[in-house]
Amino acid sequence: MLKSLTVIAGALSAALALSPAARAADPDPRNWDAVLAEAKGQTVYFNAWGGSENINSYIDWAGTTLKERFGVEVVHVKLDDTANAVAKVLAEKAAGKNEGGSVDLIWINGENFASMKRQDLLMAPDWTTGLPNWAYVDHENKPTILTDFTIPTDGLESPWGGAKMVFFHDSARTPADSVPHSSVELLAWAERNPGRFSYPQPPDFIGSSFLKQVLIETISDRSKLGQPVVDATFNDDVAPLFAYLDKLHPNLWRSGKAYPQNYPDMKQKLADGELDIIFAFNPSEASAGIAAGELPDTVRSFTYTDGTLGNTHFVAIPYNASAKAGALVLANFLISPEAQARKQDPSVWGDPTVLSMDKLSADDRAAFDALDLGIATLKPDELGPALDEPHPDWMERIEGEWLKRYGAAN
């Protein structure tokens, strides 16, 4: 879902100037009745990754619900890379199209959020905290809701779900006592079991996340990852990462000469017996796959002892969106207890909630308590520590270096 737009942004930066008038007309979520009145009859073009049928079905459900309750039409613009939608908004701004933009709401985090914030491509700050359902959000105990890959969110994006890297194996083929619990152990496992592990080629979101996990575990000074890259030390800082990958790649599926297309492709390869270990950014993903009949019921989850990558994903409204009021209504609905409980159900999606159970009514808490998270879902105290995402600058640089070194293999 993440991809750098540095080259595009640099080429266009001189042309990007947003007039104050464009911001003055933004609807105010603190006047919710006025937002609902303005939203009625609008069509929201929701640009979101379209590579998962269960997620697509969830978005369809949300759209149907919005149409019935609020008279707002939702069109899911299915993306294979979020950066494509960001580039569209950037191009519209460069062309002076400060109103009537083609993107109304975008599923986003990390590098893409940093790029949109840096280029002033987002609706005025603090709209998120004005949403009625913000009252239920657990921003006090989930710091990644207020800081996205080290970048303050400043109310420019509304949290939609939590994420944490978790690994899966089929216990019928790979015993639980043989799975690795660190990147070092994964390398040793891959050397003993060549061809049975792989990862998608960056800049695929899951593939890039794997690189970040290894980077965090191998860099000599982890504190550097909270700040932008320092050119003078970058090569030394990432040398352990690429030394690791140089050893890993000959032992990957197809000897690293090809890569799984994305997470759904990895999941299919686990089901087909081509891979023995895969990973996702959702602790409920294995159970969701079992519930959907996509994975055998012998698949189980595991994680790393010292922690795995964790973050929050969001929705954001471009500064020039055509249907800002409708986008606010959709963003607010997506953090309602109803929508969040449905999303956390592994038979629907299995995406962890961003809400605080302590802030919910007894009935809403009961809806979450009643969820069967599934046989393959680790309990919260089994997930291990959540490792902070590096500053987006790191992945912009590392993805480029990865392509130079290994991209020709495809």
Domain boundaries, the chain: 6-10+26-162+312-373, 166-310+387-409
Point out which residues pair with 151 in neighbouring strands. Answer: 148
> Average model confidence (pLDDT) for the chain?
92
Q: pLDDT digit string (tens) for 338-372?
A: 999 999 998 898 888 999 999 999 999 999 999 99
pLDDT score at 357: 93
SS3 259: coil
pLDDT score at 365: 95
Count of CB atoms situated within 10 Å of the CB of 172: 12
Contact (Cβ atoms closer than 8 angstroms) between residue 207 and residue 375: no
Kindly state the average pLDDT of the residues 141-162. 93
pLDDT score at 1: 43
Asked whether residue 205 carries a pLDDT value surpassing 50, the answer given is yes
pTM over 0.85: no
Domain 166-310+387-409 top-level CATH class: alpha beta
CA separation for the pair 267, 269 (Å, rounded): 5
Kindly state the average pLDDT of the residues 3-29. 51
Asked whether residue 268 carries a pLDDT value surpassing 50, the answer given is yes
Phi first, then psi: what are they for 101, rounded to 5°?
-65, 165
Angle at which helices 110-118 and 82-94 cross, to 10°? 10
Asked whether residue 137 carries a pLDDT value surpassing 60, the answer given is yes
CA separation for the pair 254, 196 (Å, rounded): 9
Kindly state the average pLDDT of the residues 186-215. 96
- B/e letters for 8-34, b = 16+ CB within 10 Å, e = fewer, are bbeebeeeeeeeeeeeeebbebeebee
SS3 361: coil
Q: Do domains 6-10+26-162+312-373 and 166-310+387-409 have the same CATH topology?
A: yes
The fraction of the chain above a pLDDT of 90, given in percent, is 82
CA separation for the pair 297, 302 (Å, rounded): 15
Q: Which CATH superfamily is domain 6-10+26-162+312-373 in?
A: Periplasmic binding protein-like II (3.40.190.10)
C-alpha distance from residue 128 to each of 36, 156, 330 (Å): 16, 7, 12
Structure tokens at 8: 């595009």
CA separation for the pair 309, 325 (Å, rounded): 34
Contact (Cβ atoms closer than 8 angstroms) between residue 114 and residue 343: no
Kindly state the average pLDDT of the residues 324-334. 98
CA separation for the pair 30, 389 (Å, rounded): 32
Residue with tokens 């420019």: 156
Task: Give the confidence band of 184 by pLDDT, cuts at 50, 70, 90.
Answer: very high
pLDDT score at 288: 86
H or E stretch covering 172: none
Contact (Cβ atoms closer than 8 angstroms) between residue 160 and residue 335: yes
pLDDT score at 91: 98
SS3 117: helix
Asked whether residue 388 carries a pLDDT value surpassing 80, the answer given is yes
Neighbouring C-alpha atoms within 13 Å toward the C-beta of 252 = 21
CA separation for the pair 200, 261 (Å, rounded): 6
Question: Smallest Cα–Cα separation from 108: which of 369, 371, 265, 318?
Answer: 318
The fraction of the chain above a pLDDT of 70, given in percent, is 93
Kindly state the average pLDDT of the residues 251-279. 97
Asked whether residue 384 carries a pLDDT value surpassing 60, the answer given is yes
Kindly state the average pLDDT of the residues 325-349. 96
Kindly state the average pLDDT of the residues 83-101. 97
Q: pLDDT digit string (tens) for 17-67?
A: 444 334 557 999 999 999 999 999 999 999 999 988 999 999 999 999 999
Residue with tokens 């993306």: 79
Kindly state the average pLDDT of the residues 192-205. 96
pLDDT score at 21: 38
pLDDT score at 10: 44
Q: pLDDT digit string (tens) for 223-246?
A: 999 999 999 999 999 999 999 999
Angle at 343 between CA 340 and CA 349, to 5 degrees: 165
Structure tokens at 296: 């055998």
Contact (Cβ atoms closer than 8 angstroms) between residue 122 and residue 277: no
Q: pLDDT digit string (tens) for 98-134?
A: 999 999 999 999 989 999 999 999 998 899 999 999 9
Task: Give the confidence band of 408 by pLDDT, cuts at 50, 70, 90.
Answer: low
Point out which residues pair with 106 in neighbouring strands. Answer: 47, 316
pLDDT score at 143: 85
Asked whether residue 400 carries a pLDDT value surpassing 70, the answer given is yes
Asked whether residue 199 carries a pLDDT value surpassing 80, the answer given is yes
CA separation for the pair 100, 116 (Å, rounded): 18
